[in-house]
Amino acid sequence: MTEEISKIGFIKELCATADNMYRLGWDERNGGNISYLIPEAEVKQHFDCSKVLRTIPLGFDAKELVGKYFLVTGTGKYFKNVKEDPENNLGLIRIAKDGVSAELIWGYSDGGKFTSELPAHLMSHITRLKVDPENRVVMHTHPTNLLAMTYVHELNTKTFTHTLWEMCTECIVVFPDGVEVLPWMLCGTNEIGEATAEKMNLSRVVVWSLHGVYGAGKSLDETFGLIETVEKAAQIYMLTAHLPRINTIKDEEMLQLVKRFGVQYRKDFLNVK
C-alpha cells in the first residue's frame, strides 16, 4: 500500500473506526463488519475505476445499488489489524451491472473477499437510502452490555427501547426512532438480512438478540456514536437492573426533551397523553 492511499480520507476514517471498536471490546477476533457507501466522484479522485482486479459473487441481487461504491471490511479479518494493513483487510467494491456480483477496485490483497454479512448490509443500505438518501454507513458489532441485556430483558421493541431511553437523558434525543429487536436468527443468511432491512424502515438501530447490533447513519462518526449511546444505556441498565429503582427519567420528562430538541420520536413508546 502506498503512502498516498493510506492517507485517503475515507480509508483512514474507516481504519480509525475499526481500531476504536476493537479497543472497546466490541469486535473480538473477526467479529463485526462495516460497509461505507462512497460517492463515485470521491472514489475517482483516488482510484482508476476502469481497472477491475476481479469480480466476486454477492450472493444477493443488489440491482438497486448498481454502480455504487462501497468500502467493506473483509471476511475472516480482525478489526485489530485493519489500521496496520488496510489493503489486506478492506476492499473497495463497485456493484456490477448484473447486480449479483461486485467488482473489486482495490483491497483484499491476499485474495480474500468482503464480509459474509455483505448481503445483509446491502439490504439495509437499500432500505436506509429510501428513508434518508444521506445514510451511507451500515455497521455491525457486538457491544458487550447490549448483548448481555438481550439475555435478561424482554425482547420487545417497545419495552426494550423504553428501558434504554430511561437510562440516560440524551437517549431519546440520540435515538428517538428507538431500537428494533429481532429474535435470535442464524447469521450470515439472507433471511436475517431481509428481517433487518425491514426493521431499518423504522429505526437506524436493529438489535440481533444474543448476537449484536446493526446500526446505520450518515457517517462513520454518527453511526459509531449512535451505537455507542445505545451501548452506554445498556451498560447502565446492566449495572442497575438488580437494584431497587429509586429514581428514573419519567415519560413526561422525556417529552420535555423531545420538545426542547425538536426530534421526531416513536410516540406510541411513551405513556403520555
Q: Out of 103, 117, 166, 180, which one is annotated catalytic?
A: 117
| Pair 156, 95 in one domain | no
Q: What is the pLDDT of residue 1?
A: 40
pLDDT digits 0-9 by tens, 188-232: 899 999 999 999 999 999 999 999 999 999 999 999 999 999 999
Amino acid occupying residue 230: V
| Pair 127, 96 in one domain | no
Cα(170)–Cα(138) distance, rounded to whole angstroms?
22
| Pair 235, 218 in one domain | yes
Q: What is the pLDDT of residue 5?
A: 77
| Pair 127, 44 in one domain | no
Q: What is the pLDDT of residue 73?
A: 97
Active site residue 13: no
CATH number at residue 195: 3.40.225.10
- Among 80, 115, 150, which residue terminates a domain? 115
| Pair 139, 149 in one domain | yes
Measure Cα distances from 177 to 12, 15, 209, 233 in Å: 30, 28, 18, 15
| Pair 167, 65 in one domain | no
Number of domains composing the chain? 2
| Pair 108, 121 in one domain | no
| Pair 55, 177 in one domain | no
| Pair 64, 162 in one domain | no
Q: What is the pLDDT of residue 241?
A: 96
> What is the CA angle 115-116-120, rounded to 5?
100
Question: Residue 9: what are its φ and ψ, rounded to 5°?
Answer: -50, -55
Q: What is the pLDDT of residue 4?
A: 79
Structural domain harbouring 164: 117-273
- Report residue 123 as a C-alpha cell: 439490504
Per-run averaged pLDDT (10 residues), the chain, 273 residues: 73 96 95 96 93 94 97 96 94 97 96 94 97 97 98 97 97 98 94 96 97 98 98 98 96 97 95 81
99: alpha, beta or left? (left if phi > 0; alpha if psi -120 to 50): left
Q: What is the pLDDT of residue 3?
A: 46
Interhelix angle 157-165/220-240, nearest 10 degrees: 90
Residues with Cβ within 8 Å of residue 101, at least 6 apart in sequence:
55, 56, 57, 58
